[in-house]
Amino acid sequence: MIRYRQIKITFSLLIAGIVGTNGAWASSWGPDTNATNKDSIVNTRHNMTMSYLQGLTPGQSGINGDSALAWMSGTRNQYNEVCVYCHTPHGANTTTTQAPLWNHTISTVTYQTWATQAGTSWYPGPSSLICLGCHDGTVSIDSIINMPGSGKYQNSNADGYGDAAFLTNWSGNAGHWRLTFFDQFGGLGCRGCHSGAGGTAGVIPGFDAFELGKDLRNDHPVGVNYPATGTPNFNVPTNEKPNKAKYFGTDSTLSKDDIRLLYSGGNYKVECTSCHDPHGVPSAGTGSTFVGSFLRKDNAGSTLCLTCHDK
Protein backbone atom coordinates (compact mmCIF):
# COMPACT_ATOMS: atom_id res chain seq x y z
CA MET A 1 0.00 0.00 0.00
CA ILE A 2 2.95 2.32 0.64
CA ARG A 3 3.98 2.08 -3.01
CA TYR A 4 0.54 3.19 -4.21
CA ARG A 5 0.47 6.05 -1.72
CA GLN A 6 3.82 7.21 -3.08
CA ILE A 7 2.47 7.05 -6.63
CA LYS A 8 -0.54 9.16 -5.61
CA ILE A 9 1.68 11.79 -4.02
CA THR A 10 4.10 11.83 -6.96
CA PHE A 11 1.35 12.25 -9.52
CA SER A 12 -0.37 14.93 -7.45
CA LEU A 13 2.86 16.92 -7.54
CA LEU A 14 3.27 16.32 -11.27
CA ILE A 15 -0.28 17.47 -11.96
CA ALA A 16 0.32 20.58 -9.91
CA GLY A 17 3.44 21.25 -11.97
CA ILE A 18 1.55 20.79 -15.21
CA VAL A 19 -1.29 23.09 -14.25
CA GLY A 20 1.24 25.69 -13.23
CA THR A 21 2.61 25.95 -16.76
CA ASN A 22 1.30 28.15 -19.54
CA GLY A 23 1.50 25.43 -22.18
CA ALA A 24 -1.29 22.98 -22.89
CA TRP A 25 -1.37 19.77 -24.84
CA ALA A 26 -1.76 20.74 -28.49
CA SER A 27 -5.11 19.77 -30.00
CA SER A 28 -5.55 18.99 -33.67
CA TRP A 29 -8.37 16.45 -33.68
CA GLY A 30 -9.26 15.76 -30.07
CA PRO A 31 -9.19 17.55 -26.75
CA ASP A 32 -5.73 18.38 -25.49
CA THR A 33 -3.75 15.65 -27.23
CA ASN A 34 -0.42 15.59 -29.01
CA ALA A 35 -1.47 12.62 -31.18
CA THR A 36 -2.05 14.06 -34.66
CA ASN A 37 -4.03 11.11 -36.09
CA LYS A 38 -2.10 11.43 -39.34
CA ASP A 39 -0.76 8.73 -41.65
CA SER A 40 -0.80 5.68 -39.33
CA ILE A 41 -1.73 4.28 -35.93
CA VAL A 42 1.71 5.43 -34.74
CA ASN A 43 0.26 8.93 -34.45
CA THR A 44 -2.92 8.00 -32.59
CA ARG A 45 -3.85 7.49 -28.95
CA HIS A 46 -3.86 3.75 -29.57
CA ASN A 47 -0.07 3.88 -29.86
CA MET A 48 0.67 2.84 -26.29
CA THR A 49 4.39 3.53 -26.69
CA MET A 50 3.29 7.18 -26.93
CA SER A 51 6.21 7.92 -29.25
CA TYR A 52 4.27 10.93 -30.56
CA LEU A 53 5.36 12.67 -27.34
CA GLN A 54 9.03 12.55 -28.36
CA GLY A 55 10.76 15.77 -29.33
CA LEU A 56 8.34 18.05 -27.50
CA THR A 57 9.60 21.32 -26.14
CA PRO A 58 8.71 22.68 -22.70
CA GLY A 59 5.17 24.01 -22.86
CA GLN A 60 4.04 21.65 -25.62
CA SER A 61 3.83 18.83 -23.13
CA GLY A 62 2.81 20.87 -20.12
CA ILE A 63 5.95 19.71 -18.30
CA ASN A 64 9.55 19.48 -19.48
CA GLY A 65 9.70 18.31 -23.06
CA ASP A 66 10.60 14.65 -23.46
CA SER A 67 10.00 14.01 -19.77
CA ALA A 68 6.32 13.75 -20.76
CA LEU A 69 7.15 10.36 -22.27
CA ALA A 70 9.32 9.30 -19.33
CA TRP A 71 6.55 10.38 -16.98
CA MET A 72 4.32 7.62 -18.36
CA SER A 73 6.91 4.86 -17.84
CA GLY A 74 5.66 3.99 -14.37
CA THR A 75 2.11 3.42 -15.60
CA ARG A 76 2.64 0.64 -18.14
CA ASN A 77 5.33 -1.52 -19.70
CA GLN A 78 7.13 0.31 -22.50
CA TYR A 79 7.41 -2.46 -25.08
CA ASN A 80 8.81 -0.09 -27.74
CA GLU A 81 6.53 -1.71 -30.31
CA VAL A 82 3.25 -0.16 -31.41
CA CYS A 83 1.33 -3.28 -32.47
CA VAL A 84 2.30 -5.65 -29.64
CA TYR A 85 -0.18 -4.18 -27.16
CA CYS A 86 -2.90 -5.86 -29.25
CA HIS A 87 -1.22 -8.26 -31.71
CA THR A 88 1.61 -10.78 -31.81
CA PRO A 89 3.03 -12.75 -34.78
CA HIS A 90 3.37 -15.88 -32.62
CA GLY A 91 1.67 -17.33 -29.56
CA ALA A 92 -1.61 -15.48 -30.10
CA ASN A 93 -4.94 -16.09 -28.39
CA THR A 94 -6.47 -19.14 -30.08
CA THR A 95 -10.03 -18.61 -28.83
CA THR A 96 -10.55 -15.18 -30.40
CA THR A 97 -11.04 -15.82 -34.09
CA GLN A 98 -12.29 -12.36 -35.06
CA ALA A 99 -9.17 -10.53 -33.97
CA PRO A 100 -6.09 -11.44 -36.02
CA LEU A 101 -3.18 -12.69 -33.89
CA TRP A 102 -4.72 -11.23 -30.73
CA ASN A 103 -2.25 -10.60 -27.89
CA HIS A 104 -4.05 -8.49 -25.28
CA THR A 105 -5.73 -10.06 -22.27
CA ILE A 106 -9.50 -10.41 -22.74
CA SER A 107 -11.61 -9.53 -19.72
CA THR A 108 -13.74 -12.29 -18.21
CA VAL A 109 -16.08 -10.06 -16.19
CA THR A 110 -19.85 -10.32 -16.52
CA TYR A 111 -21.47 -7.29 -18.13
CA GLN A 112 -24.86 -5.77 -17.49
CA THR A 113 -26.50 -5.54 -20.87
CA TRP A 114 -29.78 -4.64 -22.53
CA ALA A 115 -32.99 -6.57 -22.95
CA THR A 116 -35.60 -6.14 -25.67
CA GLN A 117 -39.29 -5.62 -24.95
CA ALA A 118 -39.68 -9.34 -25.59
CA GLY A 119 -37.11 -10.07 -22.89
CA THR A 120 -34.28 -11.12 -25.22
CA SER A 121 -30.87 -10.21 -23.79
CA TRP A 122 -27.78 -9.58 -25.94
CA TYR A 123 -24.13 -9.95 -24.98
CA PRO A 124 -20.96 -8.50 -26.53
CA GLY A 125 -19.46 -10.68 -29.26
CA PRO A 126 -15.75 -11.31 -29.98
CA SER A 127 -15.34 -8.06 -31.95
CA SER A 128 -16.51 -6.11 -28.90
CA LEU A 129 -14.86 -8.15 -26.15
CA ILE A 130 -11.43 -7.33 -27.55
CA CYS A 131 -12.21 -3.62 -27.17
CA LEU A 132 -13.66 -4.06 -23.69
CA GLY A 133 -10.38 -5.71 -22.67
CA CYS A 134 -9.14 -2.15 -22.09
CA HIS A 135 -12.30 -0.08 -22.13
CA ASP A 136 -14.19 -1.79 -19.31
CA GLY A 137 -11.41 -0.74 -16.94
CA THR A 138 -10.72 -4.20 -15.50
CA VAL A 139 -7.50 -5.06 -17.35
CA SER A 140 -4.30 -3.01 -17.58
CA ILE A 141 -3.42 -1.58 -20.99
CA ASP A 142 -0.09 -3.46 -21.08
CA SER A 143 -1.52 -6.89 -20.17
CA ILE A 144 -0.54 -9.21 -23.03
CA ILE A 145 0.27 -12.86 -23.66
CA ASN A 146 3.56 -12.59 -25.55
CA MET A 147 5.97 -9.78 -24.67
CA PRO A 148 8.74 -8.90 -27.16
CA GLY A 149 11.85 -11.06 -27.02
CA SER A 150 12.30 -14.63 -25.83
CA GLY A 151 11.14 -16.19 -22.58
CA LYS A 152 8.36 -13.68 -21.92
CA TYR A 153 5.29 -15.69 -22.91
CA GLN A 154 2.39 -16.76 -20.71
CA ASN A 155 -0.64 -18.33 -22.36
CA SER A 156 -2.70 -18.16 -19.15
CA ASN A 157 -2.66 -14.38 -19.54
CA ALA A 158 -4.97 -14.70 -22.56
CA ASP A 159 -8.00 -13.87 -20.46
CA GLY A 160 -8.88 -12.79 -16.95
CA TYR A 161 -7.66 -9.68 -15.16
CA GLY A 162 -4.00 -9.87 -16.14
CA ASP A 163 -1.09 -11.35 -14.19
CA ALA A 164 0.81 -8.45 -12.64
CA ALA A 165 3.71 -10.68 -11.55
CA PHE A 166 4.21 -11.88 -15.13
CA LEU A 167 3.98 -8.34 -16.54
CA THR A 168 6.52 -7.05 -14.03
CA ASN A 169 9.08 -9.49 -15.50
CA TRP A 170 9.37 -7.17 -18.50
CA SER A 171 11.52 -4.52 -16.85
CA GLY A 172 10.79 -4.62 -13.15
CA ASN A 173 8.10 -1.97 -13.63
CA ALA A 174 5.34 -2.57 -11.09
CA GLY A 175 2.90 -0.06 -12.59
CA HIS A 176 0.27 -1.70 -14.78
CA TRP A 177 -2.53 0.81 -14.89
CA ARG A 178 -6.13 0.33 -15.90
CA LEU A 179 -8.44 2.90 -17.44
CA THR A 180 -10.23 3.42 -14.12
CA PHE A 181 -9.72 6.33 -11.70
CA PHE A 182 -8.38 3.96 -9.02
CA ASP A 183 -7.05 0.45 -9.46
CA GLN A 184 -8.04 -2.62 -7.46
CA PHE A 185 -5.50 -1.78 -4.74
CA GLY A 186 -6.58 1.83 -4.23
CA GLY A 187 -3.73 3.29 -6.28
CA LEU A 188 -4.28 5.58 -9.25
CA GLY A 189 -5.52 4.35 -12.59
CA CYS A 190 -5.32 6.22 -15.91
CA ARG A 191 -8.29 8.45 -15.14
CA GLY A 192 -6.66 9.50 -11.90
CA CYS A 193 -4.92 12.07 -14.11
CA HIS A 194 -6.91 11.81 -17.35
CA SER A 195 -10.16 12.80 -15.68
CA GLY A 196 -11.05 15.76 -17.89
CA ALA A 197 -12.08 17.67 -14.79
CA GLY A 198 -10.65 19.85 -12.06
CA GLY A 199 -7.10 21.13 -12.38
CA THR A 200 -6.25 18.80 -15.27
CA ALA A 201 -9.14 19.91 -17.53
CA GLY A 202 -7.78 21.40 -20.75
CA VAL A 203 -4.26 20.32 -19.81
CA ILE A 204 -4.27 16.51 -19.85
CA PRO A 205 -6.60 14.58 -22.21
CA GLY A 206 -9.73 13.39 -20.42
CA PHE A 207 -10.61 9.70 -20.78
CA ASP A 208 -13.89 9.65 -18.84
CA ALA A 209 -16.02 8.80 -21.88
CA PHE A 210 -13.70 5.95 -22.85
CA GLU A 211 -14.06 3.90 -19.66
CA LEU A 212 -17.33 2.06 -20.27
CA GLY A 213 -17.26 -0.05 -17.12
CA LYS A 214 -19.21 -3.28 -16.71
CA ASP A 215 -22.68 -1.73 -17.01
CA LEU A 216 -23.21 -1.29 -20.75
CA ARG A 217 -26.86 -0.26 -20.58
CA ASN A 218 -26.04 3.38 -21.30
CA ASP A 219 -24.08 2.52 -24.46
CA HIS A 220 -25.25 1.51 -27.93
CA PRO A 221 -26.08 -2.22 -27.89
CA VAL A 222 -23.38 -4.56 -29.16
CA GLY A 223 -23.66 -8.26 -29.81
CA VAL A 224 -27.18 -7.61 -31.08
CA ASN A 225 -28.43 -9.35 -34.22
CA TYR A 226 -29.03 -6.91 -37.07
CA PRO A 227 -32.66 -6.99 -38.22
CA ALA A 228 -33.44 -9.21 -41.17
CA THR A 229 -33.92 -7.88 -44.69
CA GLY A 230 -37.17 -6.01 -45.04
CA THR A 231 -37.44 -5.02 -41.38
CA PRO A 232 -38.93 -1.52 -41.06
CA ASN A 233 -36.68 1.29 -39.80
CA PHE A 234 -33.42 -0.42 -40.79
CA ASN A 235 -31.44 -0.17 -44.02
CA VAL A 236 -30.19 -3.25 -45.85
CA PRO A 237 -26.39 -3.65 -46.18
CA THR A 238 -25.27 -3.32 -49.78
CA ASN A 239 -22.47 -5.92 -49.75
CA GLU A 240 -21.42 -9.10 -48.00
CA LYS A 241 -18.32 -11.14 -47.30
CA PRO A 242 -20.04 -14.47 -46.49
CA ASN A 243 -19.64 -15.56 -42.86
CA LYS A 244 -17.40 -12.56 -42.20
CA ALA A 245 -19.27 -9.28 -42.58
CA LYS A 246 -22.14 -7.46 -44.22
CA TYR A 247 -21.37 -3.84 -44.95
CA PHE A 248 -22.58 -0.57 -46.38
CA GLY A 249 -20.11 0.14 -49.18
CA THR A 250 -20.03 1.27 -52.78
CA ASP A 251 -18.11 -1.73 -54.13
CA SER A 252 -16.96 -5.25 -53.30
CA THR A 253 -13.98 -3.98 -51.28
CA LEU A 254 -14.52 -3.73 -47.53
CA SER A 255 -12.94 -0.34 -46.81
CA LYS A 256 -11.96 1.12 -43.45
CA ASP A 257 -14.76 3.68 -43.57
CA ASP A 258 -17.51 1.15 -44.38
CA ILE A 259 -19.96 0.54 -41.54
CA ARG A 260 -20.18 -3.21 -41.08
CA LEU A 261 -21.99 -6.04 -39.26
CA LEU A 262 -19.75 -8.81 -37.92
CA TYR A 263 -20.58 -12.49 -38.21
CA SER A 264 -20.58 -14.62 -35.06
CA GLY A 265 -22.83 -17.27 -33.58
CA GLY A 266 -24.59 -17.79 -36.90
CA ASN A 267 -25.75 -14.18 -37.26
CA TYR A 268 -24.54 -10.78 -38.42
CA LYS A 269 -24.28 -8.47 -35.43
CA VAL A 270 -23.62 -4.90 -34.42
CA GLU A 271 -20.32 -4.73 -32.52
CA CYS A 272 -17.88 -2.02 -31.42
CA THR A 273 -15.93 -2.36 -34.66
CA SER A 274 -19.11 -1.87 -36.70
CA CYS A 275 -18.71 1.88 -36.22
CA HIS A 276 -15.19 2.25 -34.77
CA ASP A 277 -11.82 1.61 -36.41
CA PRO A 278 -9.25 1.11 -33.63
CA HIS A 279 -6.39 1.95 -36.02
CA GLY A 280 -7.75 5.44 -36.51
CA VAL A 281 -6.58 6.32 -40.00
CA PRO A 282 -7.21 6.96 -42.84
CA SER A 283 -10.77 7.48 -41.63
CA ALA A 284 -11.05 10.67 -43.67
CA GLY A 285 -8.46 9.90 -46.33
CA THR A 286 -4.68 9.57 -46.32
CA GLY A 287 -3.07 12.00 -43.91
CA SER A 288 -6.42 12.76 -42.31
CA THR A 289 -6.98 14.25 -38.89
CA PHE A 290 -10.61 13.19 -38.39
CA VAL A 291 -11.03 10.62 -35.64
CA GLY A 292 -14.18 11.39 -33.62
CA SER A 293 -13.13 8.75 -31.09
CA PHE A 294 -12.02 6.45 -33.90
CA LEU A 295 -15.34 6.48 -35.77
CA ARG A 296 -15.27 5.00 -39.26
CA LYS A 297 -17.13 7.98 -40.66
CA ASP A 298 -18.09 11.46 -39.51
CA ASN A 299 -21.51 11.63 -37.87
CA ALA A 300 -22.22 15.18 -39.01
CA GLY A 301 -25.92 15.38 -39.80
CA SER A 302 -26.26 11.93 -38.17
CA THR A 303 -24.72 10.39 -41.31
CA LEU A 304 -23.28 7.46 -39.39
CA CYS A 305 -26.51 6.74 -37.49
CA LEU A 306 -28.59 6.91 -40.66
CA THR A 307 -26.35 4.36 -42.35
CA CYS A 308 -28.21 1.66 -40.43
CA HIS A 309 -31.27 3.43 -39.07
CA ASP A 310 -33.96 4.38 -41.62
CA LYS A 311 -35.59 7.35 -39.92
Judge whether residue 117 has pLDDT over 80. Answer: no
pLDDT tier at 136, thresholds 50, 70, 90: very high
Give the span between the Cα atoms of 18 and 113, in whole angstroms. Answer: 39
The answer to the question of residue 85 being in a domain is no
Going through 162-286 in order, the beta strands assigned E by DSSP cover 224-225, 239-241, 245-248, 259-264, 267-270
Q: pTM value? A: 0.84
More confident call, 103 vs 206: 103
Looking at every residue in the chain, the average pLDDT score rounds to: 81
CB neighbours (10 Å) of residue 305? 13
Q: Where are the alpha helices (DSSP H) in the chain?
A: 2-19, 67-71, 126-135, 164-168, 272-275, 305-308
The answer to the question of residue 70 being in a domain is no
CB 129 within 8 A of CB 106: yes
More confident call, 293 vs 240: 240
More confident call, 63 vs 70: 70
The answer to the question of residue 274 being in a domain is yes
For range 150-173, the mean pLDDT: 90
Across 25-34, 68-77, 105-114, least confident range: 25-34
Judge whether residue 154 has pLDDT over 50. Answer: yes
Judge whether residue 116 has pLDDT over 80. Answer: no
pLDDT given for residue 194 in this prediction:
85
pLDDT given for residue 183 in this prediction:
74
More confident call, 150 vs 56: 150
Judge whether residue 94 has pLDDT over 90. Answer: no
Instruction: Give me the number of domains the chain comprises.
Output: 1
Judge whether residue 16 has pLDDT over 60. Answer: no
- Measured at the alpha carbon of residue 240, what is the angle toward residues 257 and 130, in degrees to the nearest 5? 60
Beta bridge partners of 160: none
Judge whether residue 213 has pLDDT over 50. Answer: yes
The answer to the question of residue 253 being in a domain is yes
For range 59-86, the mean pLDDT: 76
CB neighbours (10 Å) of residue 66? 15
Q: What is the pLDDT of residues 258-309, one digit of tens each?
A: 999 999 989 999 999 999 999 986 555 555 677 778 899 888 899 999 999 9
Q: DSSP per residue over 271-301, as a string? A: -HHHHB-TT-TTBTBTT----TTTBSS--GG
The answer to the question of residue 266 being in a domain is yes
For range 71-91, the mean pLDDT: 92
For range 124-138, the mean pLDDT: 95
Judge whether residue 149 has pLDDT over 80. Answer: yes
For range 103-107, the mean pLDDT: 96
The answer to the question of residue 53 being in a domain is no
pLDDT given for residue 284 in this prediction:
53
The answer to the question of residue 117 being in a domain is no
Helix, strand, coil in percent for the chain, rounding step 5: 25, 15, 65
Q: Which residues contact 198 (CB under 8 A, 6 or more apart)?
A: none
The answer to the question of residue 43 being in a domain is no
More confident call, 73 vs 135: 135
pLDDT given for residue 251 in this prediction:
87
For range 7-34, the mean pLDDT: 40
Q: Shortest CA distance to 156 belongs to which of 98, 100, 93?
A: 93
Q: State the residue range of the domain holding 247.
A: 224-308
Going through the chain in order, the beta strands assigned E by DSSP cover 224-225, 239-241, 245-248, 259-264, 267-270
Considering the chain, what percentage of its residues have pLDDT values greater than 90?
A: 46
CB 163 within 8 A of CB 156: yes
pLDDT tier at 168, thresholds 50, 70, 90: very high
